[in-house]
Amino acid sequence: MIDNDRNDPDRRRISTMAMAGGGALAVLLVALIAWPFVTRNPIGTPNGGANPSATSDTTVGRTMPAQQAAESAVGKNDPAGQADATGGRERAIKQSSQPLSLSDQARSQVKNVISRQNAPRVQQAQFEMMIGSAVPGQVQLQDIPPEITQIMNGYWGDQYVLVQDKLVIVDQHTRRVVAIVPGVA
């Protein structure tokens, strides 16, 4: 008896389709494995200057990049907002993170005011330098001078600490970072 299955055109077509499908599956598998190595992952990168490719000594550990110059619109414009049990204010502070908007002249004025203060200063922050991050209770804070609130047009009643050369403004109700102003200390 002669095996006619090998000469059957339907069987050859099915075999060819199976081989093509296997090849396409192999290409997709290789692409899936290579994808993280050839693309930049913007997920988790906050607005306001965090650079995942740069390391910074102003952040605890090495898991999160430090924001360089950022502010929270909620923290700046709603200083009387109270913390609640649901964490709504904390989320609003973090979600309203944006690049710092401060002219060179205003930065110079802030630097001048800070130079006249006996401000608490730390070399290494014991908290993440990110908008919305919690500042531990053991970190000494000082009330922000009214001159700075006028220059920056916000942050009335908030507090601050100097970390290296950065002014870190902290929300008075939640102890969350609401602004990071580099080059003023």
Tens of pLDDT, residue by residue over 2-14, are 555 566 777 778 8
pLDDT at 37 over 80: no
Distance CA 17, CA 136 (A): 62
Tens of pLDDT, residue by residue over 89-107, are 888 888 888 898 889 999 9
The amino acid that residue 174 corresponds to is T
pLDDT at 65 over 60: no
Q: Which residue has the tokens 């990049």?
A: 65
Angle at 148 between CA 110 and CA 137, to 5 degrees: 105
Distance CA 24, CA 78 (A): 55
β-pairing, 121-122 vs 159-163, is parallel
Q: Name the strand (E) or helix (H) holding 147.
A: helix 146-152
Considering only CA atoms, which of 76, 62, 179 is closest in space to residue 130? 179
Distance CA 17, CA 66 (A): 52
